[in-house]
Each structure stands twice: as structure tokens, then as C-alpha cells.
Amino acid sequence: MELENKIEKTKPHQSANYITRKNCRICDSDDLKPFLNFGNMPLSGGFIKKEDLSKDKLYPLTVVFCQRCKETQILETVSPETLFKDYRYTSSTTTTLSNHFKNYAKTMNDRFLDKNSLVVEFGSNDGVLLKPFLNMGIKAIGVDPAQNITKLARERGCEVINEFFNSKTAKYIKNKYGEASLICANNVFAHINNIHEPTKGIKLLLKPDGVFVFEVHYLVDLLDQFQFDVIYHEHLMYHSLISISHLLEIFDMEIFDVLRIPIHAGSIRVYAQNKNTGRHDVKPIVDELIELEETKKTNQLSTLIRFSEEIQKKRNALVELITRLKSKGKRIIGYGASGRATVHINFCKFDTKTIEYISDESLERQGRFIPGMHIPIVAPKYFKNDNPDYALLFAYNYFDEVMKKEKDFIDRGGRFIVPLPEPKIIEP
């Protein structure tokens, strides 16, 4: 990894369908300061079939800071069709996420909805949030571009439009179903290159007194916990309240509430409304978190440069730990074929001689390979019947769930390795 003082287009290792931005996605400023360069990296969710291994592609990955609106973002933008038309991430796989969204739906229903409400969620995935709304008798429509994931949601009884959410999609929904009381966007509002377009759609579709709620990784937690493993091409932006407020203000919207949540190792749930027609008072927590960001200097380039220096140390520490264990003849596998796994494996250059395979519950990923380093992804039963010495826990954001689930592995003497915020072996 190296620091760069100017923006330069990096040549991909293979031909790639991407563009390199020169201006900020939120405020259009060209005052972008690079602070982190990963070089060429694969798509984090591009889990590859065996027959397609020779077609694997790498893309440059450069992270910059906008001096005007304070948004942290990546320069390289891979086409959304490439990223999301064949998407392999399913939210219902983990009990933690399923329970999270059940509670989420109940909270939204209690605070904002009645029997006549319409809920629209874009980036609805496999219906993990839509289904609880439907179970409560609330009309809920999903929007998602991934055909395979849309199919899964429809099989669960959810109504999903297989498209990207934008002003055109919003107009279609409004004409067919009416205005939405609630629009949700979870772990998707940082994935969209032209972020103004879906925000226009929100503005168009939302009732004057409606609420827009979204969850994203929180920049404060990302920096505090050195989570470089959530920096990848699908995540185009890394939001703070300071930066996201700039975007919403462009559309005459405001944040009226925010909740810090532990999901994905540190996220925020942001509640927004129309400035003039919204009916909710702005809660003190909004100003409190903005003050926290200012205190932690997440809105300053120097802080991000220090972060880039520290994660180099974290990587080296993990590589040294794994190398030491392998020198002792220990067998190591990976646990959780996530975007985090792709980043760690490629950033650390772990191959099958280092990590033999990765265990994952998702049927969408089993039988495929981690892009870049081509480590195979297997079903959990393979892991349970095997007896490796260590499992590198890429899904450390579900630590408690994994520890309960894999008690037999631990009782047999197996040990998990957690890579962040400090690489360490978990002792029982």
C-alpha cells in the first residue's frame, strides 16, 4: 500500500469495466485528496465458478477524501450491472441479521406506520425486511437489481421490482401504489455512484410527512476499529453524519434521528424527513454525533492518513501470525465467505497453501471461489467433518453467533483467529 499525492488512473491487471471519478459524488467538488491505495483488487462479492476462474478481473481501488463536504469515497466505479446483477450476498443467512430486521420492522411499525401505510425498500435483497412487514399486515414493495436474489424474495411471498431504484422506478411505484409512508435503504445507500438519482426518487415517492430510513457502515466505527476490510468496490462511500447531511440538504431534507447499532461491526440507522413538511422534531443525538465526529477529527484528512498507516501495521501483524502458525505445521481454514474475506485474502496475499478453504452457509456461494486468490468455498458440513487447527474468522462481526454455533470445533481444540481490530487467537 502506498500513499499518493495526486489522483492517477491505475491500470487494472486485466481488462475491466470501470470509470475513475474526478469529482465528489455528493457535492461535485474536484478537491479530492487520496490517502489510501489498495492497488488492483477483485470485486469483493464476485465469487467465481470454477469454469470462470480464468476470467477473473482486478480493478484499481483508491480511497479519497472530499475537502468540501467531507465525504470519504473511492474513485473507481465499476458498472452496477457488473456488481449487482448476479449478487451472491443474502441477508437471511445469519440469525443475527434476521433478528435484526425483525426488530427493525417492528420499530418502524410502532413509530411511523398504520394499516394504510405503504413501505418501499430498495436494495431489498432476499426479503429479510419485507417479510416481517408483510407478516404485520403492512403493504411492502421491494426494489432490487439482482435477478437471483429477487427470485429468492419472491419465493418468500414478497413483491419485488427487479430494477435499480431511481426517479423512474419511484414514479412507476407512485403511479401504481401511491406515495410511501416509509422508504428504507439498508446497506445500499453507500453503493450507488449517482447518489443524487435515488435521492430524487426518494423525494418523489415519499409522502410529505413520510420518513426515509437507512443503515450504513459508520465512518467513526470504521476508523476506530481499523475496518479496512469493508473498503471495496461495492462500497463507494463511507458516510459520516457530517457528509450525509450535505447530500440530504441538497434535496431539502434533514436528519431528525440517528441510532448507532452494532450490526456489521458498527453502523448507524439514520432517520430523515422533508424539512418543511416533516412532523418529527430533530433529536439531540444528531448534534451529539456530529460533535463526536468533529472531536475525533473524522472530517480531517490527517486522521485518514493515520488510518492508512495503521492498517498497514494490522495487515503485517496478521500475515506474521498466520506465517508463524504455518511454519509450525498448523492447518488453517477461513470462516465466512464475505466481502471482508475477499479484502483480507487479497490484501494479505493468502492462497490455498495458507488458507485451505472457506466455510460458508450460503448456498449462493458454496462451490464457488474467492475472487483474486481462488480459495474454494465449501459447505459447513465439510468444516465440521474436518479437523483444522485454526479458523480465520472473517465474519467476526457475527462473533457471538459463531462462537455458539461452533462450540464443537472449539471443544475439539480448534481455535478461531480474529483479524481486527488486532489479530489474535481466541482462547476458550
* CATH code assigned at 128: 3.40.50.150
User: Residue range 6-17: average pLDDT?
Assistant: 41
Give the strand pairing for 206-217 and 332-335: unpaired
- Lowest model confidence (mean pLDDT) among 174-183, 239-248, 370-379, 393-402: 393-402
Instruction: Identify whether residues 264 and 187 lie together within a single domain.
Output: yes
User: Do residues 204 and 322 both lie within one domain?
Assistant: no
pLDDT of residue 6 exceeding 50? no
Q: Does the pLDDT value for residue 324 go beyond 90?
A: yes
Question: 47 Cβ partners below 8 Å, 6+ apart?
Answer: 88, 337, 364, 365, 368, 369, 370, 371, 377
Same domain, 407 and 273: no
What's the pLDDT score for residue 89? 59
CA dihedral 42, 162, 186, 233 (to 10 degrees): 20
Report which of residues 225 and 79 the model is more confident about. 225
Q: Which of 263, 295, 327 is the last residue of a domain?
A: 295
N-term to C-term CA, the chain? 35
Residues 339 and 215 occupy one common structural domain: no
Residue 331 placed within a domain: yes
Cell of 199: 435521492
Q: Please indicate, yes or no, if residue 67 is contained in any of the structural domains.
A: no
Q: Is residue 336 part of a domain?
A: yes
407 within a domain of the structure (yes/no): yes
Q: In whole numbers, what is the pLDDT of the chain averaged over residues?
A: 92
Same domain? For 269 and 352 the reply is: no
Report the C-alpha gap between 293 and 193 in whole angstroms.
Answer: 24
Q: Which among 266, 295, 324 is the end of a domain?
A: 295
Residue 14 lies in a domain: no
* pLDDT classification of 7: cutoffs 50, 70, 90: very low
Contact 16, 339 (CB under 8 A): no
Asked if residue 317 and residue 262 are part of one domain, the reply reads no
Residue 114 has pLDDT above 70, yes or no: yes
pLDDT in tens, 256-293: 999 999 988 899 999 999 999 999 999 999 999 999 99
379 and 271 in a common domain: no
In a domain, 22, yes or no: no
Say yes or no to pLDDT of 185 above 80. yes
Q: Whole-angstrom Cα distance, residue 293 to residue 297?
A: 6
Measure the CA–CA gap between 16 and 357, rounded to whole angstroms: 27
Average pLDDT over residues 81-92: 66
Clarify whether residues 291 and 307 are in a common domain.
no
**Is there a single domain that holds both residue 324 and residue 280?**
no
pLDDT of residue 10: 34
Q: Could you give the CA distance from residue 23 to residue 55 in angstroms, rounded to a whole number?
A: 31
User: Which domain, by its residues, includes 401?
Assistant: 303-426
- The number of folded domains in the chain is 2
Maximum CA pair distance of the chain? 66
All cell numbers assigned to 221: 466505527
At which of 264, 295, 326 does a domain end? 295
Task: Verify that 258 and 221 share a domain, yes or no.
Answer: yes
Sequence-ordered list of residues with C-beta below 8 angstroms from that of 358, at least 6 positions apart, any chain: 333, 334, 335, 336, 337, 341, 370, 375, 376, 377, 378, 394
CA distance 428 to 419: 17
Confidence of residue 9 (pLDDT cuts 50, 70, 90): very low
d(CA 377, CA 359): 6
Contact 373, 349 (CB under 8 A): yes
Q: Are residues 236 and 307 in the same domain?
A: no
Can you give the pTM of this predicted structure? 0.89
**Whether the bond into 371 is cis, omega within 30 of 0:** no
For residue 399, what is the domain's CATH number? Answer: 3.40.50.720
Is position 68 within any domain?
no
Band (4; pLDDT cuts 50, 70, 90)? very low
Is residue 12 in some structural domain? no
CB-CB contact of 14 with 43 (8 Å): no
Q: Tell me, yes or no, whether 278 and 314 share the same domain.
A: no
Q: What is the grid cell recorded at 419?
A: 483479524
